[in-house]
């Protein structure tokens, strides 16, 4: 992916300069992560009294880890599981709904199709924060606030997913194959479920991952919807602990260790899955 670029010419930035800039950027992106891994091995006192990028004389990673998972009856584990549930289930349903709708918009003709697609695209431009507040008052009237559903249901809608699915259905599912399958007697839903989804697989993975991270990172929605700490995702739980640090400095260790653990979980996931992020988000635009 890099070797085919033009060769070096005089007057261009040198290889050394390029790599120097890249290395400095690398240090910048690593700094907070390295800091939190070191800080997670410290007591609250050491956190404020020792140099941030080196270990103290008495590292206590294990004690902090045990404290993290036993605090308040092991509620941190519950928070991680909640986050996985909200993100995993929300993204899975969002992926299926987006794939079906994007495919239908790409492959069928019907009245008002472009208008519908424009409205859905407009949804991409609406800030999530604008929706969260009115959604709270709406769901409150039907008694859904405070439940898992209050976070799960809104998370299952991804207008951006429909946009991606439409582009990739156009680009990767040839009409001839649909016609051939029809002649063989396959129903339209079966063609979508068994043939089209397979051809759209890379785009579907991208939609899933995009929505997974979006839900995992969404803070305002669970903040307004949830009040029982047992239903909190990790992000909300950690800020709850962070608000206790003034009262009891022991919470600093919990916040730092909790941040380290949840950062490791997601960064690990990102690194493992990052090659799937390669689907070209603007494939339709460049080809149009």
Partner 1 sequence: MTALAPPRRRAGSPAKWVLLLPFVVMFALFFIAPIVYAIVQSLFATKSSGLGLGRPETTFVFFDNYARALSDPAFVESVGRLVLFAAIEVPLMVLTALGLALLLDSGKARFPRFFRVLYFAPYGVPGVIATLLWGFLYIPATSPVIQALGAIGIDMNPLSSSGVLFAIANIALWGFAGYNMVILMAALDAIPSELYEAARVDGASTWSTTWHIKLPLVRPSIILVTVFTIIGTLQLFVEPLVLQPLTSAISSTFTPNLAAYNQAFAQGNPNLAAAMAVLVAVLGFVFSFGFLRLVNRKDSRAW
CB 259 within 8 A of CB 238: yes
- Region of 59-67, 74-82, 187-195, 197-205 interacting with partner 1 (CB under 8 A): 187-195
Does 262 engage in binding with partner 1 (CB under 8 A)?
yes
Which residue lies nearer to partner 1 by CB, 81 or 133? 133
Which residue lies nearer to partner 1 by CB, 66 or 133? 133
Provide, rounded to whole angstroms, the least separation between the CB of residue 160 and partner 1: 9
State which of positions 28-57 bind partner 1 (CB under 8 A).
Answer: 28-33, 35-36, 39, 47-48, 51-53
Please count the other Cβ atoms lying within 10 Å of the Cβ belonging to residue 66.
Answer: 12
Q: What is the DSSP string of 39-105?
A: HTTS-HHHHHHS-TTS--SS--HHHHHHHHHHGGGTHHHHHHHHHHHHHHHHHHHHHHHHHHHHHHH
- Region of 55-63, 65-73, 197-205, 210-218 interacting with partner 1 (CB under 8 A): 210-218
Provide, rounded to whole angstroms, the least separation between the CB of residue 210 and partner 1: 10
Provide, rounded to whole angstroms, the least separation between the CB of residue 69 and partner 1: 17
Q: How far apart are CA 200 and CA 208, in angstroms?
A: 12
State which of positions 61-100 bind partner 1 (CB under 8 A).
Answer: 97-98, 100
Q: How far apart are CA 255 and CA 241, in angstroms?
A: 6
- Region of 55-63, 69-77, 197-205, 232-240 interacting with partner 1 (CB under 8 A): 232-240
Q: How far apart are CA 202 and CA 255, in angstroms?
A: 36
Provide, rounded to whole angstroms, the least separation between the CB of residue 147 and partner 1: 15
Q: How far apart are CA 90 and CA 161, in angstroms?
A: 13
The contacts of residue 39 (CB under 8 Å, 6+ apart) are 47, 52, 256, 260
- Region of 55-63, 65-73, 197-205, 278-286 interacting with partner 1 (CB under 8 A): 278-286
Q: How far apart are CA 239 and CA 256, in angstroms?
A: 11
19, 58, 118, 229: residue in contact with partner 1 (rule CB under 8 A): 19
């Amino acid at each position: 992916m890099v070797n085919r670029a033009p060769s070096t010419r005089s007057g261009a930035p040198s290889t050394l300069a390029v790599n120097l800039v890249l290395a400095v950027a690398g240090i910048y992106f690593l700094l907070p992560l390295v800091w939190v891994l070191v800080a997670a091995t410290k007591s609250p006192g050491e956190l404020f009294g020792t140099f941030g990028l080196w270990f103290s004389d008495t590292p206590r990673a294990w004690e902090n880890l045990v404290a993290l998972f036993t605090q308040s009856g092991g509620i941190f584990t519950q928070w991680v599981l909640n986050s996985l549930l909200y993100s995993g289930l929300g993204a899975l349903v969002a992926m299926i709904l987006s794939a079906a709708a994007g495919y239908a918009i790409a492959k069928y003709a019907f009245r008002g199709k472009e208008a519908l697609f424009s409205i859905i695209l407009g949804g991409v431009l609406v800030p999530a924060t604008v929706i969260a507040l009115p959604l709270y008052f709406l769901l409150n009237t039907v008694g859904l606030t405070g439940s898992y559903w209050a976070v799960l249901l809104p998370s299952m809608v991804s207008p951006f997913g429909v946009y991606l699915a439409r582009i990739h259905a156009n680009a990767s599912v040839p009409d001839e194959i649909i016609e051939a399958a029809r002649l063989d007697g396959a129903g339209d839903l079966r063609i979508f479920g068994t043939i089209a989804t397979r051809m759209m697989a890379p785009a579907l993975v991208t939609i899933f991952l995009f929505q997974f991270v979006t839900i995992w990172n969404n803070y305002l929605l669970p903040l307004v919807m949830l009040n029982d700490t047992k239903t909190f995702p990790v992000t909300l739980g950690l800020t709850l602990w962070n608000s206790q640090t003034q009262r009891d400095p022991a919470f600093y260790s919990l916040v730092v260790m909790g941040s380290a653990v949840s950062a490791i979980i997601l960064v690990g996931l990102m690194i493992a899955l990052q090659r799937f992020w390669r689907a070209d988000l603007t494939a339709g635009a460049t080809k149009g």
